[in-house]
């Protein structure tokens, strides 16, 4: 309410409706300037986002979007959450940076709470998933993370890469066993692959990796940057597998609800590595991010939120399965909780990006995971009506794409298909 009043005073917006939108000329000028002044490493969609509430966003033209991507699994509690905004303002006014030369209470409390809630004995704070993975036993600040990813597209142009990494196909235990030996120091694995196409670990896979690591005295590291903190319907996605205890878990993305923050959580086996001076991060454990993260942690561990992830995850899955039947575009729905992927059928393989654009034009933001998978990572506290509205728009977008494709296809070749 207070925020709404402030927005109205600024003469710009209210939640739910833009009362004054920018002129199309101003938006076009912003887009032009962004293209001209950013390095061309991203390909942002041609709109300028302006404000959000819950699972809805509005651009500078007043167009509304249902946000089913949550800034790539980051805004787990949606946009403009009153509690988080309040904490941000309060901590910002009190103290917002001191560096790791000094202690501050929010980060100490957060570390305490993370250790109490998990297997961890110690925590290293940083600002991103790459940094958290980098800290997980590697050196340098990000090149090792690029190397740790098996996908060659992330390696290209960055050679020479640090040595010593081996890769094995996901969910192929024989391949993994062949790579692990007594000289293996650690195995790093995502319990549900995110960018790799939303692929959950097959039942038994993580337990087998854990046994193999114990046998060879290798550390077991789970990358839960995307899958952790309630996203899968468990606090950590690896908890879907009974009795697997990692040595290290990396988290980031949703950790501070949208502020940059990451962490490496470390169990007893490795808790005393990284002695003074061996590693660091100037912003790591920033008081503002830490204060907000404490509230996020409390909320994502609550029964209510986990129940919502389970229920909305089922509803989303049901909508995607219905689309599978209606549109004929989807071959398989996979993932867990509110981390779901819709795998496109052969005829649509390679066209996920195009479908994401269709969805955006229909007022719903979804993601892709590679060229063949539509990825859904909505806020964990999404409401029924937000999810329903979003999926109605996805259905309309896919129907339009299918109709366009049918119109482009000569009748005889359509008959062949």
* 68 vs 401, beta carbon nearer ligand PLP: 68
Which range touches ligand PLP (CB under 6 A), out of 111-119, 122-130, 328-336, 337-345? 122-130
| CA 267 – CA 225 distance, rounded (Å) | 17
Q: Is 85 helix (H, G, I), strand (E, B) or coil?
A: helix
* 213 vs 221, beta carbon nearer ligand PLP: 221
Query: Among 386, 36, 337, which Cα is nearest to 191's?
Result: 337
Q: Which residue has the tokens 């009506």?
A: 385
Q: Are 374 and 380 in contact (CB under 8 A)?
A: no
Interface with ligand PLP, residue 192, by CB under 6 A: no
Binding to ligand PLP, residues 244-303 (CB under 6 A): 252-253
Q: Which of 66, 87, 88, 130 binds ligand PLP (CB under 6 A)?
A: 130
Q: Which residue has the tokens 């409706």?
A: 17
Burial of residue 290 (CB within 10 Å: 0-12, 13-18, 19+) is buried
Interface with ligand PLP, residue 70, by CB under 6 A: no
Using Cβ positions, the residue closest to ligand PLP within the complex turns out to be 129
Q: Are 59 and 47 in contact (CB under 8 A)?
A: yes
Q: Which of 69, 129, 284, 363 binds ligand PLP (CB under 6 A)?
A: 129
Query: Among 352, 360, 355, 353, which Cα is nearest to 61's?
Result: 360
| CA 57 – CA 167 distance, rounded (Å) | 39
Report the nearest approach of ligand PLP to the CB of residue 227 (Å). Answer: 7
Provide the annotated binding site: 129-130, 138, 141, 223-226, 281-282
* 133 vs 286, beta carbon nearer ligand PLP: 133
* 177 vs 195, beta carbon nearer ligand PLP: 195
Phi/psi at 386 (nearest 5 deg)?
Answer: -70, -45
Q: Using the 8-state DSSP alphabet, how is residue 241 labeled?
A: S
Q: Which of 54, 106, 191, 194 binds ligand PLP (CB under 6 A)?
A: 194
Report the nearest approach of ligand PLP to the CB of residue 170 (Å). Answer: 12
Which range touches ligand PLP (CB under 6 A), out of 202-210, 223-231, 302-310, 349-357? 223-231
Q: Which of 60, 226, 281, 381 binds ligand PLP (CB under 6 A)?
A: 226
Beta strands 339-344 and 364-365 are unpaired
Provide the annotated binding site for N(2)-acetyl-L-ornithine: 141, 281
Angle, CA of 31, 32 and 37, to the nearest 5°: 100
Cis upstream peptide for 313 (omega within 30°): no
Burial of residue 282 (CB within 10 Å: 0-12, 13-18, 19+) is exposed
* 191 vs 390, beta carbon nearer ligand PLP: 191
Q: Are 207 and 343 in contact (CB under 8 A)?
A: no
* 192 vs 316, beta carbon nearer ligand PLP: 192
Phi/psi at 328 (nearest 5 deg)?
Answer: 65, 15
Report the nearest approach of ligand PLP to the CB of residue 139 (Å). Answer: 17
Binding to ligand PLP, residues 318-347 (CB under 6 A): none
Which x/- pattern, by CB under 6 A, does the window 147-186 give for ligand PLP?
Answer: ----------------------------------------
* 128 vs 286, beta carbon nearer ligand PLP: 128
* 222 vs 348, beta carbon nearer ligand PLP: 222
Interface with ligand PLP, residue 133, by CB under 6 A: yes
* CA gyration radius, the chain: 22
Q: Which of 223, 241, 247, 372 binds ligand PLP (CB under 6 A)?
A: 223
Length of the chain: 417
Interface with ligand PLP, residue 27, by CB under 6 A: no
Other Cβ atoms less than 10 A from the Cβ of 10: the count is: 9
Q: Which residue has the tokens 């109205």?
A: 8
Interface with ligand PLP, residue 128, by CB under 6 A: yes
Interface residue list for ligand PLP (CB under 6 A): 128-130, 133, 190, 194, 223, 225-226, 252-253
């Amino acid at each position: 309410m207070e925020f709404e009043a402030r927005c109205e005073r600024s003469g710009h917006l209210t939640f739910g409706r833009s009362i004054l939108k920018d002129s199309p000329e101003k938006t076009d000028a912003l887009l032009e300037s962004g293209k001209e002044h950013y390095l061309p490493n991203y390909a942002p969609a041609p709109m300028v986002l302006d404000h959000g509430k819950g699972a809805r966003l509005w651009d500078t033209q007043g167009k509304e979007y249902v946000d089913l991507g949550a800034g790539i699994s980051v805004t787990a509690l949606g946009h403009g959450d009153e509690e988080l905004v309040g904490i941000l303002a309060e901590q910002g006014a009190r103290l917002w940076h001191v560096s790791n030369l000094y202690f501050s209470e929010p980060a100490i409390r957060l570390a305490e709470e993370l250790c109490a809630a998990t297997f961890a004995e110690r925590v290293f704070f940083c600002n991103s998933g790459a940094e958290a993975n980098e800290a997980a036993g590697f050196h340098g600040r990000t090149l090792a993370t690029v190397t740790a990813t098996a996908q060659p597209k992330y390696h290209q142009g960055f050679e020479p890469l640090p040595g010593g990494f081996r890769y094995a196909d996901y969910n192929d235990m024989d391949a993994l066993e062949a790579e692990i030996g007594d000289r293996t120091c650690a195995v790093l694995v995502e319990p549900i692959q995110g960018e790799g196409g939303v692929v959950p670990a097959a039942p038994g896979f993580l337990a087998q990796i854990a046994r193999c690591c114990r046998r060879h005295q290798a550390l077991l590291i789970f990358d839960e940057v995307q899958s952790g903190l309630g996203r899968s319907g468990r606090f950590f996605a690896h908890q879907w597998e009974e009795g697997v205890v990692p040595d290290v878990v990396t988290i980031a993305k949703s950790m501070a609800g949208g502020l940059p923050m990451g962490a490496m959580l470390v169990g007893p086996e490795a808790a005393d590595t990284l002695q003074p001076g061996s590693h660091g991060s100037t912003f790591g454990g920033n008081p503002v991010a830490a204060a907000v993260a404490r509230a996020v942690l409390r909320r994502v561990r609550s029964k209510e939120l986990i129940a919502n992830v389970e229920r909305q995850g089922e509803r989303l899955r049901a909508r995607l399965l219905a689309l599978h039947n209606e549109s004929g575009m989807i071959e398989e729905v996979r993932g867990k909780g509110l981390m779901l992927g819709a795998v496109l059928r052969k005829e649509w393989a390679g066209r996920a990006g195009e479908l994401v654009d269709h969805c955006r034009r229909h007022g719903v933001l979804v993601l892709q995971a590679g060229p063949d998978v539509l990825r859904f990572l909505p806020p964990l506290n999404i409401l029924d009506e937000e999810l329903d509205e979003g999926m109605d728009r996805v259905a309309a977008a896919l129907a339009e794409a299918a109709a366009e494709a049918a119109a482009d296809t000569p009748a005889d070749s359509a008959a062949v298909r």
